[in-house]
Amino acid sequence: MITRNVNIANLKAGYLFPEIAKRRREFAAANPDAKIISLGVGNTTEPILPFTNAGLVEGARQLGTKEGYSGYQDEGLPLLREKISKVFYKGKFSIDEIFVSDGAKCDIGRLQMLFGAGTKIAVQDPSYPVYVDGSVLAGAAGGWEGTGYTGITYLPCTTENNFFPNLDLIPQNSLIYFCSPNNPTGAVSDHKQLSKLVEAAINKRCIIIFDAAYSEFIRDPSLPKTIYEIEKADSCAIEVNSFSKPAGFTGVRLGWSVVPKELKYAGGESVNADWNRIMGTIFNGASNIAQAGGLVSLDDEGLKEIRCLTDFYLGNAKLIREALQKLGIHCIGGDNSPYIWAFFPGRDSWEVFAEILEKCHIVTTPGAGFGPAGQGFVRFSAFGHRADVEEACRRLDTFFK
Ligand code: PGU
């Protein structure tokens, strides 16, 4: 019989969010009257706003017409790629440097194919679990020795370093995953910090995969919204981004990656050409309907809707942060990001997760699920209906003393 892919056996546990969902289900089964509020997984809750939604509807309508019908779109609608370049990168990239996809998570998984098994990985700790699990699945971790993934270097982001890692820890010739605004800490790196990251990547001959999925939540105009605001980033960084959180497309599925032509492997080969080859081979394009919606979401009216939706979730974040602070719980994030990282020093984060679920019937995400340095923290997601968030804040105030 054919044997199991050893990389699957190397995965530490189940994927974090299904595990949280399982614990929620178990709690609900044991407490059928509990009105559980989820501030766990970062899943959007508000309807897609009318202008963008009309774009989706129109996209679907056109598919039913002779003139408007379209089939495979491969790398994405040229118009959409052009608009992404214009809106997010001041037109700096040509359309063949922008690849439209079905979302950032899927791209993060596929990008590993560029580098192959045995690649050394450096990752912020804590971080979005897909970076580590995706690396392990691709065999990039270099094996499991019982104590940790040998091929993965964790870059702790803690109170001591103000949630920006010590870049000296990054190994030579490695693939660096970096996320800003960060999931789960909500910390946003400034220009100086990202300049240091780019400098470290160039000096150590690394490539950065920069995850900017939450860039539209940045309100402080001094903070960089893309790695390409940093000089020389074109020669060392790939960026992934998504319509999921800003436009409410978590279920619609639309994202993109930027792979600049300037980016080269150690041997001088073009990373862009390989990414084009990989995407052309194993991906058949994002849904045409999703792309039609994405296209109008980047019109002036659509961008206003993005602002409105992200403002709404940031409003939730403010309420959660204030409720926690009122209880004397220190937290960061929530001002330029939809996540609040709450400190429970000296405590086990799964235990705090369970306590909040039991006392307040609120689902959160335990910090340890995002990596060892997440121990002692809990993540609150600001994605939720306003009434639910207000109710969650009341419950925290009443029951979580
Ligand atoms: N990148 C980051 C940093 C994310 O936090 C998420 C979603 C994604 C990418 C996914 O983007 P898509 O374009 O929608 O694929 N993180 C959520 C949802 C959990 C999950 O498994 O993706 C979260 O709660 O962390």
Walking along the chain (401 residues) 10 residues at a time, the average pLDDT comes out as 88 84 95 96 97 98 97 87 98 97 97 90 96 89 52 94 97 96 98 98 98 98 98 98 98 98 97 97 96 98 98 98 97 98 97 96 96 96 98 94 72
Using most ligand atoms within 8 A of CB, pick from 182, 215, 242 the residue to mutate for ligand 1.
Answer: 242
In angstroms, rounded to a whole number, what is the distance separating the alpha carbons of residues 237 and 175? 10
The H or E element that residue 38 is part of is strand 37-38
Q: How far is CA 211 from the centre of its chain?
A: 6
Which letter does DSSP use for residue 370 in this model? G
Domain boundaries, the chain: 13-42+302-400, 52-299
User: Tokens 């440097």 appear where?
Assistant: 97
271-282 and 104-111 helices, crossing angle to 10°: 110
**Nearest atom in ligand 1 to 106's CA:** 15
Mutate to test the pocket of ligand 1, among 15, 38, 130, 243 (most ligand atoms within 8 A of CB): 130
Q: Report the C-alpha gap between 315 and 334 in whole angstroms.
A: 9
Determine the length of the chain.
401
- Produce one character per residue of 61-92: b if its CB has 16 or more CB atoms within 10 Å, e if not: eeeeeeeeeeeebebbbeebbbbbbeebbeee
130-137 vs 104-111: helix crossing angle, rounded to 10:
40
DSSP lists the bridge partners of residue 256 as 100, 241
Helices 349-360 & 386-399 angle (0-180, nearest 10): 100
> Residue with structure tokens 């990547």?
201
Give the model's pLDDT for residue 149: 55
- Find the helix or strand (DSSP H, E) in which 9 lies: helix 6-9
Percent of the chain with pLDDT over 70: 97
DSSP string, 197-213: HHHHHHHTT-EEEEE-T
Which amino acid residue places its CA nearest to atom 21 of ligand 1? 17
Per DSSP, what are the bridge partners of residue 38? 363
Q: Which position has the token pair 């009341």? A: 394
In DSSP terms, which residues pair with 37 in a beta bridge? 362
Distance CA 53, CA 291 (A): 12
Q: How many CA atoms lie within 13 A of 311 on its CB side?
A: 6
Which candidate, 135, 63, 96, 55, places its Cα nearest to that of 295?
Answer: 55
Beta-bridge partners for 332: 341
Contact 218, 315 (CB under 8 A): no
What's phi and psi for 211, nearest 5 deg?
Answer: -100, 110
Burial class (CB in 10 A: 0-12, 13-18, 19+), 246: buried
Predicted confidence (pLDDT) per residue in 274-297, tens digit: 999 999 999 999 999 999 999 999
Quick: pLDDT tens for 37-62: 999 999 999 999 999 999 999 999 99
d(CA 257, CA 260): 10
Q: Would you tell me which CATH number, out of the four given (3.40.50.1390, 3.30.470.20, 3.90.1150.10, 2.30.29.30), belongs to the domain 13-42+302-400?
A: 3.90.1150.10
For residue 181, the CA-to-ligand 1 centroid distance in Å is: 12
Domains 13-42+302-400 and 52-299 share a fold: no
pLDDT at residue 147, as a whole number: 42
**109/122 Cα distance (integer angstroms):** 16
Q: Are 249 and 310 in contact (CB under 8 A)?
A: no
| Predicted pLDDT at 144 | 44
| Residue 380: closest CA among 347, 346, 332, 345 | 332
Beta carbons of 93 and 110 less than 8 angstroms apart: no
Mean pLDDT value across the chain: 95
Which residue in 393, 394, 354 sits closest to 19, CA to CA? 354
Q: How many Å lie between the centroid of ligand 1 and the Cα of residue 42?
A: 7
Q: Dig out the tokens for 179 from the structure.
A: 């996320």
pLDDT at 141: 62
Q: What is the pLDDT of residues 339-352, one digit of tens each?
A: 999 999 999 999 99
What class has domain 52-299? alpha beta
Protein residue with least CA distance to atom 17, ligand 1: 42
HSE at residue 113, side-chain half, CA atoms within 13 A, is 17
Q: Of the candidates 110, 116, 108, which has an alpha carbon nearest to the alpha carbon of residue 208?
A: 108
Pocket lined around ligand 1, Cβ cut-off 6 Å: 17, 41-42, 103-105, 128, 179, 183, 211, 213, 242, 244, 250, 255
Cβ atoms of residues 116 and 268 within 8 Å? no
Neighbours of 376 (CB within 10 A): 19
pTM beyond 0.85: yes
Instruction: State pLDDT tens for residues 203-233.
Output: 999 999 999 999 999 999 999 999 999 999 9
